[in-house]
Amino acid sequence: MARAIWTGVLSFGLVSIPVGLYTAVTEHDVRFHQLQAGTGDRVRYQRVNERTGEPVEYSDIVKGYDLGDGQYVALTQEELEQVAPGRSRSLDIHAFVDLAQVDPVYFQRSYYLAPGTPEAAKPYALLREAMARTGRAAVATFVMRGREYLAVIRPREDVLVAETLYFADEVRDPREELDLPDVEQDFRPGEVEMATQLVEAMSGPWRAEDYRDSYTDRVRELIEAKSAGREVVGQAEAPAPTNVVDLMSALQASVDAARSRRQPQDAAPEEPAATGRGARRGGSAGRGGAARRGGAAGGLSGEPADLSTASRQELVRLARELDVPGRSKMSREQLRAAIASARSASAPPPRRRRRAS
Amino acid sequence: MCLDCARGQDHCHGTLLRWADGWVECTEPGCLPDRARHGWVGDAATEF
């Protein structure tokens, strides 16, 4: 059972609902330890007293504000809580807004908000239902670990999700930070239309599971190869930037490539017996089509496919089509085995040869 | 006694280090580098 990172009451109007805030996301980075180069010695951070050099326990550390000349104002956790009594226990809703109005640049991190007590379940569900019906998200603030947070709370299926937001002064102005080109550019005839066609040709529905952190996969492969003493082969280099002179031809070639990738399966006739398990075709047209379709692992039409050369993304696609459970967390090897197993399980029994009469 | 420990909340006693290039790491190995779970945050570029 997950532990809440914050507990308190969600307040709107005169209604107060005990709630807990839970981390909604995790990160799948490869976790490294710090080693001193050339040795197997672990490197660690340690809090030490600068004067004595002795380690200091977490519970013995207070916050010190530097006044200069070696003078500090020391503040305890309890004193900081007393600055705004109750604020650290209350998630105050200030307004309800259209979530689409919130620029994604403000989004920080997602948390699930759950009822804190059995009695809170009904008002929690009521608030969630009212927000779902109105299509509104709540703007709220709360104090946690010495910092005030701004958040929007929105319904997502059965749960309320709190997205913490940056405050307006925390978002950098790109015009001050970057050397941006003039908005007004002289495009050659057809360039905007061609670029628009490319966008359209690569358009499709958003499906989070279609995307995979292939860099982390490569890092894991590198670790496996090094631990097994195998040779490590580098990836192909990134493509060179497009020459501005060739922009039009590069766009045209990209549109042609995007269309040809989607052409074969879009045009393919439906299989008459394609129902149920493993019957779904390779997704709808659009972005990711190149990755999802017609790769080394083959399509769904049952032709023999070389799984050994298929990318993980292709394997995940095949696994999805075959309804392989737990596919999103499988390694390439596990995917290959699961796909082979699912294929053999769904394959029709071998036909008996008719004897020549 | 840490207030977050007293409340039984999920939190970390490490220090979240923010590097100038945006990289964030915690001094506790294996910790999820989420600001909200940390009472101590430091800008590595200026404080360390």
- The label of the residue with tokens 């979240």 reads B16
Alpha carbon of B32: minimum distance to chain A alpha carbons (Å): 7
Mean pLDDT for the stretch of residues B3-28:
87
The DSSP bridge partners found for residue B42 are: B17
pLDDT at A175 over 60: yes
Sheet holding B24-26, edge to edge: B24-26, B12-18, B38-43
Chain B nearest-CA residue for A109? B34
pLDDT for the residue A300: 43
Interface check for A78 against chain B (CB to CB < 8 A): the answer is yes
Determine the pLDDT at residue A117: 95
Question: ipTM value of the model?
Answer: 0.77
Structure tokens at A183: 């908005």
Q: Which residue has the higher pLDDT, A342 or A170?
A: A170
Considering only CB atoms, B10 lies closest to which of A5, A58, A77, namely A5
Residues of chain B contacting residue A3, judged by C-beta atoms under 8 Å apart: 8-10
Contact: A111, B36; criterion CB under 8 Å: yes
Write the DSSP string, A207-270. Answer: -GGG---HHHHHHHHHHHHHHHTPPPPPPPPPPPPPPGGGHHHHHHHHHHHHHHHHHHHHHSPP
Position B45 confidence tier, pLDDT thresholds 50, 70, 90: low
Share of chain A above pLDDT 70, in %: 80
Q: What is the mean pLDDT of chain A?
A: 80
pLDDT tens digits along A226-238: 899 887 666 667 7
Q: Which amino acid is at A154?
A: R
Six-digit token pair at A76?
A: 């305890």
| pLDDT at position A343 over 60 | yes
Asked if residue A203 has pLDDT above 60, the reply is yes
Q: For residues A311 and A327, what is the distance between their CA atoms, to the nearest angstrom? A: 14
Residue of A nearest to B33 (CA): A27
* Cβ–Cβ below 8 Å for A4 and B38: no
Q: Which residue has the higher pLDDT, A65 or A304?
A: A65
Look at residue A275 and tell me whether its pLDDT is greater than 50.
Answer: no
CB-CB under 8 Å, B1 with A164: no
Cβ within 8 Å, pair B36-A4: no
Q: Do A23 and B10 touch (CB under 8 A)?
A: yes
Q: What pLDDT does A355 receive?
A: 41
> How many angstroms separate the CA of residue B45 from the nearest CA in chain A?
16
**A142 contact B CB<8A:** no
- Distance (Å, whole) CA B46 – CA B48: 6
Structure tokens at B38: 């940390």
| Closest approach of B30 to chain A, Cα-based (Å) | 6
Residue A49 has pLDDT above 80, yes or no: yes
A34 → chain B, closest CA residue: B29
A319-323, A343-347, A350-354: segment of lowest average pLDDT? A350-354
Asked if residue A207 has pLDDT above 70, the reply is yes
Question: pLDDT-based confidence at A182, cuts 50/70/90?
Answer: confident
- Label residue A310 by pLDDT band (50, 70, 90): confident
Interface touch A6/B9, C-beta < 8 Å: yes
Residues of B whose CB is below 8 A from A59:
1-2
Local structure of A55: helix, strand or coil: strand
Q: What is the pLDDT of residues A100-111, one digit of tens each?
A: 999 999 999 999
Structure tokens at A34: 């710090």
User: Burial code of A251-273, b = ≥16 C-beta within 10 A, e = fewer?
Assistant: beebbeebbebbeebeeeeeeee
Does the pLDDT at position A46 exceed 50? yes
Tell me which chain B residue has its CA closest to the CA of residue A148.
B36
Question: Rounded mean pLDDT of A263-292?
Answer: 40
Pick from A330, A322, A270, A325: nearest CA to A297: A322
Which of A22, A23, A145 lies closest to B32 in CB terms?
Answer: A23
| Whole-number pLDDT of residue A186 | 82
pLDDT of residue B12: 93
**pTM of this prediction?**
0.67
